[in-house]
Structure 1
Amino acid sequence: MTHFAPARGSSPTEIQAAVDAVLAEATLEEKVGMMSGRGFFQAFLEDDRVWGARPYRAGGGIERLGLPPLWFTDGPRGVARGSSTCFPCTMARGATFDPDLEHRIGQAMGVEIRAQGCDLSGAVCVNLLRHPAWGRAQETYGEDSWHLGVMGAALGTGIQAHNVVATVKHFALNSMENARFKVDVRVDERTLHEIYLPHFKHCLDEGVASVMSAYNKVNGEYCGQNRHLLTNVLRGEWGFSGFVHSDWVFGVHQPYGAAAGLDIENPEPRVFGAKLVAAVESGTVEPQVIDVACQRILSTQFRFAGAEDPLPEYGPELVACEAHVALALEAAEKSAVLLENDGTLPFSRARVARLAVLGKLAALENTGDLGSSRVRAPHVITPLQGLERHMGEGAVLTADEDDLDQARAVATQADTVVVVVGYTAKEEGEYIPGDISLGQEGDAAADGRAGAPAEPRGGDRIDLTLPADQIALIEAAAASGKPVVVVIVAGSAVLVEGWREQANAILQTFYSGMEGGTALARLLFGERSPSGRLPFTVARRAEDYPFFDRDATEINYGYWHGYAKFEAEGVEPRYPFGHGLSYAGFGYRALTARLSGDRIEATVAVRNEGTVAAEEVVQLYVEYPGGVKPRAAKQLRAFQRVGLLPGETRIVRLSIASDDLRYRDAATRRWVLERGEHRLIIARSATEEVLSVGMTL
């Protein structure tokens, strides 16, 4: 039997020859077989419906020719296989504004993916946060397209460093959860290309090799069979040469999806397979469509399988190893955002001998939703455990919202109070309807339908505020007269009106991963200075966000969202995009900017004016001339995290491509640079300008 399995060290010429040989040898049925996953439903049942119990076949592979398939694993917050490292959720990592850290996390994921028998990862989610009620907000990086693209590319290329194919998802306009299978998102040309697509293109331009289509419709057609998105834009305009695969179950509805540009249906051939073979044989789908899809699949697969590995071996001892757990801790420390602080933080042991830790969430292993992104870490340090370990035996008192009198009494006995509030997978996360399974834990028959209806879970948030019993707990803590620090656990924005004045400090930790409790203790007691920055805008009123209907069958995604919307409407947010306090203060001076070829090169001096080592996130926004309407007044176009010792000054260099300042001309479908005065703004947030300089382009 001839074997076509790719060999390490293959040259591009050898890879192309191998691809051509497979296409010449394979039958139509075998080629179409490469265009879908296989065996998932049976495996899922055999594994007692545990998602990620084994690698999932996700396209490619011909047994007769000795050609291996692609093996898929999910995991925006770690590898959804075995007992892997659980990093803070993607939104938390977005708050780090640290692409170097994200690239290192991607590398760690790549190692653990390889060590567990997979070579295709669904970890890179860059869907734009249009509204904080979106249930899967925790799986993306935030509301700003530039920030999304930079962070997503860092993760994807990190994963691919270990010859795992990374896929960027969900293409496109998937920013609501409950209605994702039915909703038709209507969007105009400029909004589509300026707001909802650039971050995908950024990831692909940086080398991310695969794309996962979304469930929803865009302008009347499902994304998995949307020719405009998958062929006209992705292949035609952007020049993408990798493969596109569907989301998991119900990701394509008609065989013509192949002709529209979908290369693989996952995880089973519900629509492709025999139906696609019949469509080719009847003449409704051209044979060339099949060959082109297989060319994309094989070329990508062989390129990764033929590259030399950075490590000689990928053994099981690398999964959740000490270095990766330390990386999870670093991410948890860097992601926490200090929203408010009257000087109560940091704690000192001299002033805080007894600490009250209140709230059910303090003792809960709460690393995020229980859908496809779930990671089963070997351990999870809860907030309570982290603080107990830090303070020692007998120094921590506890109570929760079920007994407010006890909570008030416990708070009175302590020197300071920490109240842990927020959400769990019940309130937000991937929406799992009661009658189907998408590969998550739950009852499922072999066709994806449930054997018996189960209670739906996750989904889009109904309310942007805290539950009433948690607010009552904060009030009880404040009634003790002791300083109160509120810790928010959530995937995106939480409205704080009505209780914030009763808190001396507010810290948002998101879903902080397996070492979150350790990080929390270090942050509260000043061993680390908080350095996260909000990757979204926190409003004063829910009405200040765009319209959101979690049960919509059709919705218009207009041009305005996020900090651009707040600025355009003259609405003051509670906390702006990019906001985050520190235990140090930072000074800026000597901003310079010059045009070098097709790039703007800027420098600024940043000084730590505090008494502790800390990290600052330098944010560079560009304000446009203002003649093009609609258009954001300014947009983030560069950022850099910098660590500084007390009194230390560093020169930070920031670079912007002039192409990234263009707008989309709807009539010509071309990108145009608006001529005139552009202002470069160094800012601490989207609303706090520090320095600026003008430049005519």
Structure 2
Amino acid sequence: MDATTMTGTAYDDAVRAVRGGGINADEAANQLIGQMTDQEILGLLDGDSPRLLLPFIPILLDRVPFVAGAVPRLGIPGIRFSDGGRGVVIGACTAFPVTIARAATWDPSLEERVGVAIGLETRARGANYSASVCVNLLRHAAWGRAQECYGEDPVLTARMGSALTRGVRVNTMACVKHFALNSMENERFEVDVAVDEHSLHEVYLPHFKAVIDAGADSVMSAYNRVRGEYMDVNRALLTDVLRHEWGFSGFVTSDWVFGTHDAVVSLEAGMDVEMPLRLLRARALPAALRNGVLARATVLESARRILRTCVQHAATRESVVPSRAVIASPAHRALAHEVATESIVLLKNEAVGAAPLLPLAPATRHLAVIGRLASQANLGDHGSSRVRPPSTVSPLRGLRAALPGVRITSTTGKNEHRAAALAAAAETAIVVVGLDQHDEGESVVTGGVDVGVLGREFGSGPLRRLVIGLAHLASRFVRGGDRSSLTLRPSDERLIQVVVAANPRTVVVLVSGSAILTEAWRDRVPALLFAWYGGMEGGRALASVLTGGEEPGGRLPFVLPTDAAHLPFFDSTAKSVVYDNQWGQRRLDGEGHRPAFPFGFGLGYTRIEHRLLGHTFDNTGGHADVLLTNKGDRKGSTVVQVYAADVSLRRPVAQLLGFQKVSLQPGAETTVRVVLDAGPTLQRDPTTRRWSPRAGEWALQAGQHSPGSWENAVRLRHREVLMDQEDIPGQAGLM
């Protein structure tokens, strides 16, 4: 029997009737509401746990689902919550690479398989609701939770987030978060985001709509304010846009504990469930309903949305209930390994002697593996997305398993003289450096919260001042949060320079959840890889790439600039911020800055050439046909990327329209059709809410990363048809 339903109950009868086609989910929800008391109906609108459990949330989150709206008398299981951007947080489950690493695969089909696995393990742990889909845009690399998003581009984020949603929904309800404009961590509870209509709808919301269109069952509202209003009371976005303009029919939950600011107003604005405890609504809603401050129709509307969504999903999800055997199963471990391999981005691979440094020469007999992260299973931050797998593989362990006949010496690098000596004695040195949960991640403790949600006694007076004071004090010592620098730690930069001076055959492996500036040492290093927080099999995957057993399949989901000043201004203490349409690669394009490595960049171990053959494109989208030829002597992969830009501008700004990942055998040739999204070339009229082409002279270009030049691009005539192009440079730019 499925832990999230109870057979032989009113709820089970309703699910069975919907599955059989006798009634629809709306009718089923109405039937259930007709059997419920007012207390039970109001109980749907917040978490089931008492407020006294607040201090124990971090302990309970990785042990049991958090339940909201269960009605045992009728068999209604309620929303049974599990977090899980990189895997299920309950118990010991498969730890996949973090979301931004999976974005680097540029492979929606692979991401959908990850979604299926996360949904299976979520359901096997007794939950029916997974908050695994985070599609907030990476506006700045210093954002502490960058590792939980899909990078800086709306089209890449939309495709990958939609794929994860489809996969998760096979077994559990999928929740997308954090709606909307959430991309700062330290001041996430207070910051007010100002944004113009065009930037809001054309930059920061399209990927949310795409995930809604892909079937997302639920939306989690963000902590921050938008245009002066906290998101739980922001009717303009929760109702006018999300429901009326986009047609979303699922339910909205708050972000946890401090994401609800007014029990009645939030319900009226369209926020259906206060999570995860009985806090504001448990105290305020019963009286508000009795005295007429809260309309009964408003309560019933939210109740109906919640029950309709739960019943509909229970009636359509995979019927076979997964057993605990699927959790961290061999198949899921193999998938974690595959994803980690496909995510690794090779940024540099220069020749040292007669051949490129990577893959490692088969005759290698002695390696030095150096760095404080080399022997650590560094899986990401320790916030709400933390997964505790039953086993892990560090880079050092992965290399030793892959190279049993090779002598491997290792040191943390804390003693730089010893590190230099080990490097000098080895044929090749591998330096593993980067970030960990102390440098970036979710800021679990902060002073900027309204502790009044805990009760009237915390609304004012000495108890309120005491709790806020303790929170401010704790926030100074808590790990994670927004990054204070985009460079490596000074000790890591010194270590790289010491090692490469001792051994010119040095490979640097970067571990992090976002961009790292490399200008202080990049030119001295012949081989450079981005390995992310690679999940439980990350070390094994890294070893397979370094040794040449697998191709480095990743491409950057963000730009790597040469200077932090080329990105938008970022102040982690800001109480207000302005979001516009200039960020990431687009900002560099518009200001004329050449990146260290452009958006979409990544190398392989073979040479694959591109040629655009033909294409169609109008205001609804289109496709481009691209001929690919593997000119190398080994199997490899590439990501065909198609961009558009207004070439009438002095500095055209590239807009990704579509992409396709392709693998080719040596000497093979194939033609791929890349589906194009017209959205980046359109604009929304704030008054009519209609979309139309942006003004300008638009052109199209295909390649392997964001283009640095538009001289040979195809012009768009009359904004309806893209003319043919004879040749598109394939490997132009940074190689």
Residue aligning to 1:390: 402
CA contact (8 A) 1:400 1:473 kept: no
Residue aligning to 2:387: 375
Deviation (angstroms), 1:195: 0.9
SS of residue in 1 equivalent to 2:298: helix
Structure 2 counterpart of 1:228, from 220, 232, 236: 236
Aligned pair in 2 of structure 1 residues 50, 483: CA closer, same or farther (>3 Å)? farther
CA contact (8 A) 1:682 1:689 kept: no
Could you tell me how far apart the structure 2 residues matched to 1:184 and 1:64 are? Answer: 43
Bigger Cα displacement from structure 2, 587-596 vs 646-655: 587-596
Aligned pair in 2 of structure 1 residues 456, 632: CA closer, same or farther (>3 Å)? farther
Bigger Cα displacement from structure 2, 677-686 vs 90-99: 677-686
Residue aligning to 2:71: 62
Bigger Cα displacement from structure 2, 110-119 vs 59-68: 59-68
Residue aligning to 2:454: none
CA contact (8 A) 2:190 2:449 kept: no
Could you tell me how far apart the structure 2 residues matched to 1:100 and 1:336 are? Answer: 17
Aligned pair in 2 of structure 1 residues 85, 494: CA closer, same or farther (>3 Å)? same
- Where does 1:17-36 land on structure 2 (aligned, <5 Å)? 17-36=27-46
Aligned pair in 2 of structure 1 residues 354, 32: CA closer, same or farther (>3 Å)? same
Aligned pair in 2 of structure 1 residues 406, 504: CA closer, same or farther (>3 Å)? same
Could you tell me how far apart the structure 2 residues matched to 1:562 and 1:540 are? Answer: 12
Structure 1 counterpart of 2:653, from 599, 616, 633: 633
Task: After superposition, give the CA deviation of every residue in 1:407-447 in whole Å (9 maximum; x if it has no partner).
Answer: 01101110000000100000000012267999xxxxxx9x9
- Where does 1:214-363 land on structure 2 (aligned, <5 Å)? 214-255=222-263, 256-307=265-316, 309=318, 312-343=320-351, 344-363=356-375
Aligned pair in 2 of structure 1 residues 599, 482: CA closer, same or farther (>3 Å)? closer
CA contact (8 A) 1:94 1:151 kept: yes
Task: After superposition, give the CA deviation of every residue in 1:11-68 in whole Å (9 maximum; x if it has no partner).
Answer: 37253332111222222222111011121766676798253211110x3322332322
Bigger Cα displacement from structure 2, 410-419 vs 64-73: 64-73
- What amino acid is aligned across from residue 228 of structure 1 in structure 2? A
Could you tell me how far apart the structure 1 residues matched to 2:449 and 2:418 are? Answer: 42
Structure 2 counterpart of 1:192, from 194, 197, 200: 200
Residue aligning to 1:151: 160
2:681 equivalent to 1:661: yes
Aligned pair in 2 of structure 1 residues 94, 65: CA closer, same or farther (>3 Å)? same
SS of residue in 2 equivalent to 1:573: coil
Task: After superposition, give the CA deviation of every residue in 1:514-543 in whole Å (9 maximum; x if it has no partner).
Answer: 011111111011111212110001111111
CA contact (8 A) 1:625 1:675 kept: no
Could you tell me how far apart the structure 2 residues matched to 1:326 and 1:230 are? Answer: 39
CA contact (8 A) 1:141 1:148 kept: yes
Deviation (angstroms), 1:601: 2.5
Aligned pair in 2 of structure 1 residues 692, 51: CA closer, same or farther (>3 Å)? same
Aligned pair in 2 of structure 1 residues 334, 114: CA closer, same or farther (>3 Å)? same
Deviation (angstroms), 1:182: 0.6
Could you tell me how far apart the structure 2 residues matched to 1:509 and 1:437 are? Answer: 35
Residue aligning to 1:142: 151
Task: After superposition, give the CA deviation of every residue in 1:337-392 in whole Å (9 maximum; x if it has no partner).
Answer: 11111034323444421000000100112100000000011111000100111122
Deviation (angstroms), 1:116: 0.7
Deviation (angstroms), 1:563: 1.1
Aligned pair in 2 of structure 1 residues 632, 254: CA closer, same or farther (>3 Å)? farther
Aligned pair in 2 of structure 1 residues 372, 449: CA closer, same or farther (>3 Å)? farther
- What amino acid is aligned across from residue 340 of structure 2 in structure 1? A
Task: After superposition, give the CA deviation of every residue in 1:120-172 in whole Å (9 maximum; x if it has no partner).
Answer: 0010000000000000000001000111111001001100012x110110000
Residue aligning to 1:652: 672
How many positions carry a matched residue from both structures? 685
- What amino acid is aligned across from residue 209 of structure 1 in structure 2? D
SS of residue in 2 equivalent to 1:272: helix
Deviation (angstroms), 1:248: 1.2
Aligned pair in 2 of structure 1 residues 12, 268: CA closer, same or farther (>3 Å)? farther
2:136 equivalent to 1:127: yes
- What amino acid is aligned across from residue 132 of structure 1 in structure 2? A
Could you tell me how far apart the structure 2 residues matched to 1:624 and 1:235 are? Answer: 33
- What amino acid is aligned across from residue 516 of structure 2 in structure 1? V
CA contact (8 A) 1:625 1:674 kept: no
2:423 equivalent to 1:411: yes
Could you tell me how far apart the structure 2 residues matched to 1:77 and 1:112 are? Answer: 12
- What amino acid is aligned across from residue 31 of structure 1 in structure 2? I
CA contact (8 A) 2:155 2:677 kept: no
SS of residue in 2 equivalent to 1:593: strand
Aligned pair in 2 of structure 1 residues 669, 570: CA closer, same or farther (>3 Å)? same
- Where does 1:669-688 land on structure 2 (aligned, <5 Å)? 669-674=689-694, 677-688=697-708
Task: After superposition, give the CA deviation of every residue in 1:213-245 in whole Å (9 maximum; x if it has no partner).
Answer: 000000000011111110111011111111000
SS of residue in 1 equivalent to 2:423: helix
CA contact (8 A) 2:365 2:406 kept: no
- Where does 1:59-208 land on structure 2 (aligned, <5 Å)? 59-162=68-171, 164-208=172-216
Could you tell me how far apart the structure 2 residues matched to 1:177 and 1:474 are? Answer: 30
Bigger Cα displacement from structure 2, 97-106 vs 475-484: 475-484
Deviation (angstroms), 1:591: 2.2
Could you tell me how far apart the structure 1 residues matched to 2:154 and 2:41 are? Answer: 37
- What amino acid is aligned across from residue 674 of structure 1 in structure 2? R
SS of residue in 1 equivalent to 2:443: strand
Residue aligning to 1:441: none
CA contact (8 A) 1:166 1:208 kept: yes
SS of residue in 1 equivalent to 2:379: coil
Deviation (angstroms), 1:208: 1.2
TM-score in terms of structure 2 length: 0.89
SS of residue in 1 equivalent to 2:346: strand
Deviation (angstroms), 1:651: 0.7
CA contact (8 A) 1:399 1:407 kept: yes
Could you tell me how far apart the structure 1 residues matched to 2:537 and 2:575 are? Answer: 40
Residue aligning to 1:556: 578
- What amino acid is aligned across from residue 503 of structure 2 in structure 1? G
SS of residue in 1 equivalent to 2:43: helix
Could you tell me how far apart the structure 1 residues matched to 2:641 and 2:709 are? Answer: 10
Percentage of matched positions with identical amino acids: 41
Residue aligning to 1:52: 62
- Where does 1:477-496 land on structure 2 (aligned, <5 Å)? 477-496=499-518
Q: Structure 1: 5+ residue runs without aligned partners?
A: 439-444
SS of residue in 1 equivalent to 2:577: strand
2:609 equivalent to 1:583: no
- What amino acid is aligned across from residue 612 of structure 1 in structure 2? R
Bigger Cα displacement from structure 2, 15-24 vs 671-680: 671-680
SS of residue in 2 equivalent to 1:104: helix
